[in-house]
Chain A
Amino acid sequence: DQQVKQNSPSLSVQEGRISILNCDYTNSMFDYFLWYKKYPAEGPTFLISISSIKDKNEDGRFTVFLNKSAKHLSLHIVPSQPGDSAVYFCAALQSSGAGSYQLTFGKGTKLSVIP
């Protein structure tokens, strides 16, 4: 049962345009969300995060929007650059009963930015 869903396996965008990556979740206990970027043969690298008490967080070219009522978040990259080509994972954080924070990942969206 996929609690974090990224329904688009891939996305192609022209350089300089906006990239919008979407993510839906089903577990209302999630209260912190993160986006990770992953290049082939490397581990995920943290990109940006948002707490459920906010609806927007911005960091340079990257903005994450959270619609809590719809259980939906999106990552906007503008302007997109060829170096942004990677797999982007949406992840949600919840506190487990054992006192640890587990990340639940979506399956990822492969972004290709075309020069």
Chain B
Amino acid sequence: NAGVMQNPRHLVRRRGQEARLRCSPMKGHSHVYWYRQLPEEGLKFMVYLQKENIIDESGMPKERFSAEFPKEGPSILRIQQVVRGDSAAYFCASSPGLGRDDGYTFGSGTRLTVV
């Protein structure tokens, strides 16, 4: 029973390229969250999605960043025209519902390096 699967684990992009980060939630989980961790910082909320819907994107930068969670397939976090400041670890989490006792299960993260 796989947990939250994120790929790739490591991604290197040149400035100006696009980065696509994938997240497959745990089986039975319909809620997906993306968090970003900058060096020496805690994780910061970016976006919360359910199937085919963005519920809360209050933590997403207004430009270059987008997220989707299609009916079929993984959730995708897309960063266009990457800059060095986008270098960070991006974590995806999933939960079966909104209840607090559900807890979040995190993936192992994608480490993005922009050169």
A interface residues (Cβ-Cβ under 8 A, vs B)? 4, 6, 32, 34, 36, 41-46, 49, 51, 89, 91, 93, 96, 98-108
Contact = CB atoms under 8 A, between A and B. Distances in A.
A102 B108 contact: no
A108 B42 contact: yes
B69 interface: no
Contacts of A44: 43, 91, 106
A93 B45 contact: no
Given A43-B106, A46-B103, A46-B104, A103 B45 contact: yes
B43 A103 contact: yes
A75 B94 CA distance: 24
Interface in B36-50: 40-45, 48
B42 A43 contact: no
A77 to B, nearest CB: 19
Contacts of A34: 103
B98 interface: yes
A100 B43 contact: no
Given A41-B109, A102-B58, 20 more contacts: A4-B42, A6-B42, A34-B103, A41-B108, A42-B108, A43-B4, A43-B109, A49-B103, A91-B43, A93-B100, A98-B48, A99-B56, A100-B48, A100-B98, A101-B100, A103-B35, A103-B104, A104-B45, A107-B41, A108-B42
Given A45-B106, A96-B58, A100-B55, A107 B40 contact: yes
Interface in B97-111: 98, 100-101, 103-109
A36 B56 CA distance: 23
Nearest to B109: A43
A12 B54 CA distance: 42
Nearest to A45: B106
A68 B9 CA distance: 39
B59 interface: yes
Contacts of B59: 102
26 contacts: A34-B103, A41-B108, A42-B108, A42-B109, A43-B93, A43-B106, A43-B107, A43-B108, A44-B91, A46-B103, A49-B100, A89-B43, A91-B43, A93-B100, A96-B56, A98-B56, A99-B55, A99-B98, A100-B98, A101-B100, A102-B48, A103-B45, A105-B42, A105-B43, A105-B44, A107-B41
